[in-house]
């Protein structure tokens, strides 16, 4: 059930921060364009200049409080969305478990996702990390940082708290202290180089990203073959995430033992595409998501996979 007053209050707060907002339909899709807009407004320039309240999706996003209020008056059951990119000074990294947790472990191993303002999405324990936009155009792309990790930046938008996910009935919420107005952490320079839409004019000597690019390691996932290390890890992560209460610790132990098997076989570890530490980190995150405590998780992984370097 949507509650228009809190949504409107939040929308006005984001607008005050300089973050343009707009309303989506109650099904999370953009509000349908009017007949005239469908016929006549076909270029980005037309759409930006359009005076309609809600036509053209994120192009209608605004920081004008009167327009924001009018949008919610016109669509009281709508969801609240924020335009991302330079328009709002944001680059959003959108993590969709369980696949996204494995990608996330790789990104974490490369140290390119420092802590920042985060929202918990209303579905499947997903979350979105809000980084400060670097000022160069950043490409928005599903899977932009690997399977299950999307980038929402220029010409894109995200649903924001306290919208309620239409499929689950769960509200989006800001993590931590629940506040959204902390300063955003800048997007890591390695990710800026990787995601920028235009190449830099001058080569800066930035080292090659430690994150694996699609086509190498990730191609195993994109064209799944049976039994690749990545697919096996994905299976372990999924099993840990889905374990029932009372079986979670045993499931995690089983999964950690399978990692040891894979390392013993030489399928992961030195010289392989998948690093044992990153694989164990993916299991650790999945186990925390499943509801085990951090100390249980450390002890169980250390017991099942002592060489992973997670100490109990
Ligand atoms: Zn229109
Ligand atoms: Zn229009």
Taking the CB of residue 282, how many other CB atoms lie within 10 A of it? Answer: 27
Structure tokens at 263: 């390392």
Based on the domain organization, do 19 and 118 belong to the same domain?
no
Whole-number pLDDT of residue 226: 42
Query: What Å distances lie between residue 311 and 88, 267, 294, 302, CA to CA?
Result: 41, 22, 11, 6
103, 205: one domain: yes
Whether 92 and 203 share a structural domain: yes
One domain, residues 303 and 223: yes
Residue 114 lies in a domain: yes
Residue 221 pLDDT > 60:
no
The residue segments making up the domain with residue 278 are: 219-308
User: What distance in angstroms lies between residue 53's CA and the mean position of ligand 1's atoms?
Assistant: 7
Ion ligand 2 neighbours (CB, 5 A) are 37, 41, 50, 52, 55
- 214 vs 153, higher pLDDT: 153
Tell me the ligand closest to 46's alpha carbon.
Answer: 2
Q: Is residue 21 part of a domain?
A: yes
Distance 226 CA to ligand 2 centre (A): 49
- Ligand 1 centroid – CA 35 distance (Å): 7
Q: Does residue 163 lie in a domain region?
A: no
What local confidence, expressed as pLDDT, does residue 258 receive? 85
Report which of 210, 290, 209 is spatially closest to residue 247, judged by C-alpha positions. 290
Clarify whether residues 180 and 132 are in a common domain.
Answer: yes
**What's the mean pLDDT in 63-78?**
95
> Taking all residues of the chain, what is their mean pLDDT, rounded to a whole number?
84
Nearest ligand to the CA of 40 is 2
Task: Based on the fold, state whether residues 40 and 71 are members of the same structural domain.
Answer: yes
Residues 231 and 303 in one domain: yes
Per-range mean pLDDT, top range of 16-20, 101-105, 118-122: 16-20
In a domain, 161, yes or no: no
Judge whether 268 lies within some domain.
Answer: yes
Q: Which of 177, 193, 211 is the last residue of a domain?
A: 211
Q: How many domains does the chain have?
A: 3
Ligand found nearest the CA of 31: 1
What is the CA(57)–ligand 2 centre distance, in A?
Answer: 10
How far is ligand 1, taken at its centre, from the CA of residue 18, in Å? 24
The pLDDT of residue 299 is above 50 = yes
Question: Are residues 182 and 237 located together in one domain of the fold?
Answer: no
Do 19 and 63 lie in one domain? The reply is yes
Whether residues 58 and 105 fall in one domain: no
Half-sphere exposure of 211 (CA within 13 A, CB side): 25
* Beta carbons of 281 and 110 less than 8 angstroms apart: no
Residue 110 lies in a domain: yes
Verify that 186 and 254 share a domain, yes or no: no
Could you tell me the pLDDT band of residue 265, with boundaries at 50, 70 and 90?
confident
**How do residues 38-48 score in pLDDT, each as one tens digit?**
999 999 899 99
Are 197 and 232 part of one and the same domain? no
DSSP 287: H
Contact 280, 309 (CB under 8 A): yes
**Average of per-residue pLDDT across 265-270:** 82
Whole-model pTM: value is 0.67
Tell me, yes or no, whether 160 lies in a domain: no
Residue 186 located in a structural domain = yes
Confidence of residue 35 (pLDDT cuts 50, 70, 90): very high
């Amino acid at each position: 059930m949507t509650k228009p007053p809190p949504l409107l209050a939040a929308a006005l707060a984001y607008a005050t921060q300089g973050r343009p907002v707009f309303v989506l339909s109650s099904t999370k899709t953009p509000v349908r364009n009017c007949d005239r807009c469908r016929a006549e407004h076909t270029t980005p320039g037309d759409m930006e200049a359009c005076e309609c309240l809600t036509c053209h999706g994120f192009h209608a996003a605004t920081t004008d409080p009167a327009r924001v209020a009018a949008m919610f008056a016109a669509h009281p059951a709508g969801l609240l969305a924020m335009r991302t990119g330079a328009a709002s000074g944001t680059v959003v990294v959108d993590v969709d478990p369980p696949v996204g947790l494995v990608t996330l472990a790789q990104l974490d191993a490369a140290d390119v996702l420092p802590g920042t303002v985060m929202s918990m999405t209303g579905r499947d324990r997903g979350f979105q990390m809000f980084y400060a936009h670097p000022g160069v155009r950043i490409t928005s792309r599903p899977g932009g940082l690997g399977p299950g990790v999307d980038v929402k930046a220029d010409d894109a938008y995200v649903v924001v708290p306290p919208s309620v996910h239409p499929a689950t009935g769960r509200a989006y919420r800001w993590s931590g202290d629940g506040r959204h107005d902390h300063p955003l952490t800048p997007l890591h320079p390695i990710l800026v180089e990787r995601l920028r839409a235009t190449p830099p004019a001058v080569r800066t000597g930035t080292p090659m990203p430690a994150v694996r690019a699609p086509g190498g390691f990730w191609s195993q996932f994109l064209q799944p073959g049976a039994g690749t290390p990545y697919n096996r890890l994905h299976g372990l992560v999924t099993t840990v995430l889905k374990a029932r209460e009372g079986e979670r610790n045993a499931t995690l132990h089983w999964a950690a033992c399978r990692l040891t098997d894979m390392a013993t076989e030489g399928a992961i570890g030195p010289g392989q595409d998948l690093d044992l530490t990153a694989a164990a980190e993916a299991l650790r995150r999945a186990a925390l998501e499943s509801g085990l405590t951090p100390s249980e998780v450390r002890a169980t992984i250390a017991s099942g996979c002592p060489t992973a370097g997670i100490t109990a």
